[in-house]
Structure 1
C-alpha cells in the first residue's frame, strides 16, 4: 500500500472565518430575500450588510496587488482591489454597456475584471486563454468589443491579427488605480447583460453567450434558501476561470460566506497539488478534470479534507466518480453522534453555458448505484421536457432532445439573433443534448446530438453512452473516445483508449470493447486504438473536439 504524501498545512492557508454559523445564515437569508441582488451587485450588496467584512473569502493562486499568491482576501480587501480596477477602467473611458474582452491566463484577472466591469455597468466578455490568437481575434471582432484587456502573452497572441477593438493597457496595470476614484456602483436591472462567456468551441468558432443580472443569480437565490450542504464551507474551484460556472461559483461564495480558492489551470496534477496545499472541504470542476484526476494514483495523495466533489457541465463517467468517492472523508450521524467516515460524495449534473447553471443533480457516494449516465432529477426552478423532432414531448424511456425553461437561461447569443431564435422552441431552449427519463423521473444523458449518428432501421449510435460502457467494462482504460465516421454507405467507429499506467499497450482489447457495447454500436467497430493524451484534440474548456477527430478518421477511411 502506498503511503500518502505528507504536506505542510500552514495555519494561514487553513484560516476559518470568524463569522458564526448564525451570522452566515443571516447573510444568506438577507441576500436571498433582496430582489435587487444579482450577479452584478453581490459584492456591493455584501458590503452594505456590514457582516463578515474582515473574514477571508477569495483566494487566488497568483499575486493580487500587494497580496501574495494563496493569500485569502477579505471582503474589504476584495472591494479595494475591485474599486482600483473600476477606477482605472473608468479613466480609460469604459462606460455602461461597453463590451470589454478579458483575455488572460490568471483566474484573478478574470474574476477581478468581471467584478470591476460589472460595477461600471459594462459587460465583461471573458475569453478562454487556450483559444488561439487567430480565432480569438475573429471572435472579438464579431463581438464588436469596445476594448480588450489582456496579459502580455495574449497581447502577443493577438499580434498580427485584427480584433477590430482597442487594445487597453496590460491587465496587470489596473491594480494601480485609485480605489477612492471609482464611480458609484451601477444599479443593475434584472435583464441587464452582466457578462458574455462563450461555448466550448468544440464544433468550430465559440458562440458568445449573454447572461443577465438575474439569470446568473437565479439558482444561487434558490440555493441560499436551502441548508448549506456539507463540503461547501471551503471550496476549491478547478473550473475554467472565464466560464459562466466560475462566475456562479464566485457569486455563490460571496453570497453564502464560503471560502473559495480559484485555480488558473485545471490539470489533474495541479488540482491534486492544490488540494494538498489548501485542504478544501469541496472541489468543483468539469468532467474533463475528473478524467485527468483518474489517471493519477489517488491513494498516494492527501485528499482527506474533501467531503464533496461537485461536477457541472457535461455529466461525469461512473468509473471516474467511483475513484473519487473512494477518497476523502465525510461527516455522518450515528447513534453515537457525529463522526467522520472514509469516502466522499460526488454531486453530478448536466449544464451548459447557455443553461447558466446545471439543471439536474444527483448525489453519488459509497454504496450508491444509480449510474449509466444518470444526471438525476431537475432542480425545482427548472421546467424541462424530452421532445421529438416536432417539439412534442416524449414519454418515459424515449430518447429525444432536452428542451428546458428556467430563470437561469442566458439571454441568447451576442450579435447572433438567428442562432438565438433557432435554439428556442415553444418557450424552451433546445440544449442539443439527447436524453431520456425513466418512470421515476430520473434523466439520463446518452449523447450530444451532433455526435450521435443514424444507423438506419430506427437504430442510432450514441458515442457518449458507448464511452461510458467501455470505461465501466475495461478497468485498465482511464478514458475513452468513440469516433464515428462514414466509410461509403457504412458507419464505422474507431474506439480510442487512454490506458492507466502499467497497462500493456500492445494487448488486443477489441473483444472486451465490442462486448461492452450494445449490438448496434458493436457492429460498427472498425478499430480499437491505444492513444496518448496528445492524440486527442481538446477545445478551450477541455472538451474533446470530436468534429476534428471525425475529419481525421474519415480521411483514414478513404485513404
Structure 2
C-alpha cells in the first residue's frame, strides 16, 4: 500500500474531476498525478531512495500539495516543518531526521540555505509555479510500502524539550483519511476548503489527505483572513470548511456582507488544533447557518481522536466521543481508568497512533502503554463516552492547593460579549504558590472594566477559579496554525502590567 494510492486511483477512474483549487486556478486529479509524477521522477534521478527523509519547507500552496504527494509516492519520508522556521531550527530538523535532501520555498530559501550548508544537505528551491515541469518518466507509482513504514515525520512543538519527530506511517495516514471522511460523510461531490498550514497534521492529513481519499476537491487559501476565507467559501461554493478556533472567531467577526444564503452549500465545518469555545461555535451557526464540529487529536495520533457527532448537539465544552475505529479513556497516574466524571489523563488507541518518536525509544516508552497513547492532556469522560479536555498537564494552575483548569475559565470568558480572545495562565504568588491571571483582547471599539469583569466571572465560577489578575493586550500570540501560544506570554510582564482586582468577598 501507499498513502497516496487513492489519488492515483481517482486520476485513473475520474481523471477530469477537480482535485485542487487556488484562486481562479484549478487542477484535475489527472493533472495533479502527472505533476506529482514529474516531481517523483526528479527525486528518483536525484537518487532519493525509499525510506530517505526529505525536508519540505513550504507554505500552503498547490506546490506543497504536489511535492508532498511526490515524496510519498516514491516511498520517501516527508519531513514537513513550519515555513517560518529559523536557520537554527532547520539545521536541527535536518540533523535529527538525517535528511538526504531539503526542498524549501523561495521566500525562505536563504534561511534554508544556511541550514543546508551547515549540515551538508543538498537544497532545492521551490519557486511559485515550479510544479509545471512537464511530464516525468514512466514510473511505476506509487511505490508499494508496508502499512508500518514511516510516511512522514512531524515534529512536536518541543514545549518540554527539543522537538521530537512523530513517525506517522502509511497506515496511519490512510486510516486517518478514512476516519475523518467517514465522520463527515464525505464523497467525491464535496468541495473542501481551508487556510490551514499543510505542514501541520490537521491541514496535511485530516483535510488534504482525507479530501483526496474520497476524490473531492480541495480549495487552498494563503494568507488567512476571516474575510478572505468566507469569500472563498462563497465563490467556490464549499461544502466543507476546516480551521482552528481563532479562524472561526475571525470569520465570525469579519466585516463582510455575506450571509448564510451566500454559504448555503456549506454543510460541515471542522475545527481542531485547540478546543473551540461553544459560544463561538453557536454564534457561527447563528450567523452562517453551519454547525462547527469540534475535534480533538495530536500529531502523535495523526490529528484524530475524538469528535462531536453530526446528529447530536455537542455537550457544552466537550470534544465528543472517540471517532470510529478509535478508543478513548481517562486514566490515573498508574494508567488505570478512572470513574466517569473524575479527572485524569486522556488516553487514545486506534489505527492512527504513531509508530513512535524518531529514534527516541525512551520518549516513546513514556507515552505508550500497550495500545494506549498517553496524551498529556487532563480531561474527564462521562458515561456516554464524551471527553472534556480540561488542560495540558503543564497548564494546570495550583492556587493555594486548589487545582484550577484554565480551559474551564476560558470557556466562560469567551461568552462575554466584549472579549475577542482570551488566555488564562498561572503566575507566581508568594502566598498561594500560583495566582490565576486572565490575558484578553477585546473586539474593536469595545472596552472592558476589569473590576466589572471579575464581578461577572464571580457569578459564573467558584471563587477560587476566578482570576485576580487581568491584562488587556492588543492581540494574543499565535502559532502558525492560529493556535494561541500561552507559553509566549511572559508571566513577569503579566504580573507587572496586569491589574490586580481585589474584592472584599474574594475567596482564597
Q: Does 1:309 align with 2:255?
A: no
Asked whether the equivalents of residues 101 and 125 of structure 1 are also in contact (C-alpha less than 8 Å), the reply is yes
Q: Does 1:450 align with 2:394?
A: yes
Deviations 1:144-191 (A, max 9, x none): 211110122212223544652524221238536453325322111111
3-state DSSP of counterpart to 2:15: coil
Matches of 1:167 and 1:267 in 2, distance apart?
35
List aligned pairs for 1:476-491, cutoff 5 A: 476-490=418-432, 491=434
3-state DSSP of counterpart to 1:139: helix
Asked whether the equivalents of residues 138 and 163 of structure 1 are also in contact (C-alpha less than 8 Å), the reply is no
Name 2:219's counterpart in structure 1: 261
Name 1:461's counterpart in structure 2: 404
Q: Does 1:531 align with 2:453?
A: no
Name 1:375's counterpart in structure 2: 319
List aligned pairs for 1:309-458, cutoff 5 A: 309-328=269-288, 343-363=289-309, 370-455=314-399, 457=401
Greater displacement, 386-395 / 479-488: 479-488
Deviations 1:72-124 (A, max 9, x none): 21111111110111112222232211111111224223211111011111111
Matches of 1:111 and 1:401 in 2, distance apart?
35
Name 1:179's counterpart in structure 2: 135
Out of 468, 483, 492, the residue aligned to residue 435 of structure 2 is 492
Superposition deviation, residue 350 in structure 1? 0.8
Asked whether the equivalents of residues 299 and 327 of structure 1 are also in contact (C-alpha less than 8 Å), the reply is no
Matches of 1:423 and 1:119 in 2, distance apart?
30
Name 1:53's counterpart in structure 2: 15
Matches of 1:382 and 1:394 in 2, distance apart?
19
Name 2:83's counterpart in structure 1: 129
3-state DSSP of counterpart to 1:319: helix
3-state DSSP of counterpart to 1:180: coil
Change (3 A) 1:324 1:155: same
Matches of 2:132 and 2:188 in 1, distance apart?
36
Asked whether the equivalents of residues 240 and 265 of structure 1 are also in contact (C-alpha less than 8 Å), the reply is no
Greater displacement, 271-280 / 187-196: 271-280
Please provide the CA RMSD for this pair: 2.8
Deviations 1:312-356 (A, max 9, x none): 23221112101211133xxxxxxxxxxxxxx22221121111111
Deviations 1:339-379 (A, max 9, x none): xxxx22221121111111422121479xx764431111112
Change (3 A) 1:545 1:506: same
Asked whether the equivalents of residues 210 and 411 of structure 1 are also in contact (C-alpha less than 8 Å), the reply is yes
Matches of 1:297 and 1:464 in 2, distance apart?
28
Which structure ranks higher in relative contact order (CA pairs < 8 Å, sequence separation ≥ 6)? Answer: 1
Structure 2 unmatched runs, 5+: 499-508
3-state DSSP of counterpart to 2:166: strand
3-state DSSP of counterpart to 1:72: strand
Matches of 1:94 and 1:353 in 2, distance apart?
25
Deviations 1:518-538 (A, max 9, x none): 33212xx232222111xx222
3-state DSSP of counterpart to 1:444: strand
List aligned pairs for 1:269-308, cutoff 5 A: 269-297=227-255, 300=258, 302-308=262-268
Change (3 A) 1:279 1:225: closer
Superposition deviation, residue 463 in structure 1? 1.0
Matches of 2:188 and 2:30 in 1, distance apart?
25
Asked whether the equivalents of residues 329 and 346 of structure 2 are also in contact (C-alpha less than 8 Å), the reply is yes
3-state DSSP of counterpart to 1:544: coil
Q: Does 1:142 align with 2:96?
A: yes
Deviations 1:242-283 (A, max 9, x none): 122233222222221212112233432332232233221220
Deviations 1:172-230 (A, max 9, x none): 38536453325322111111111122334556654322110111111333466778359
Asked whether the equivalents of residues 188 and 216 of structure 2 are also in contact (C-alpha less than 8 Å), the reply is no
Change (3 A) 1:206 1:324: farther
Matches of 1:354 and 1:456 in 2, distance apart?
34
Matches of 2:235 and 2:407 in 1, distance apart?
34
Name 2:36's counterpart in structure 1: 82
Matches of 2:492 and 2:58 in 1, distance apart?
31
3-state DSSP of counterpart to 2:301: coil
3-state DSSP of counterpart to 1:73: strand
Name 1:475's counterpart in structure 2: 417
Superposition deviation, residue 557 in structure 1? 9.2
Superposition deviation, residue 385 in structure 1? 1.4
Matches of 1:425 and 1:114 in 2, distance apart?
32
Asked whether the equivalents of residues 374 and 442 of structure 1 are also in contact (C-alpha less than 8 Å), the reply is yes
Change (3 A) 1:127 1:506: same
Matches of 1:299 and 1:489 in 2, distance apart?
52
Give the aligned length.
490
Change (3 A) 1:116 1:231: closer
Superposition deviation, residue 136 in structure 1? 2.8
Matches of 1:393 and 1:253 in 2, distance apart?
35
Asked whether the equivalents of residues 144 and 165 of structure 1 are also in contact (C-alpha less than 8 Å), the reply is no
Greater displacement, 77-86 / 229-238: 229-238
Structure 1 unmatched runs, 5+: 1-35, 62-68, 329-342
Matches of 2:154 and 2:469 in 1, distance apart?
38
Matches of 2:138 and 2:171 in 1, distance apart?
24
TM (normalized to structure 2)?
0.88
Name 2:504's counterpart in structure 1: none
Matches of 2:181 and 2:231 in 1, distance apart?
30
Matches of 1:213 and 1:238 in 2, distance apart?
24
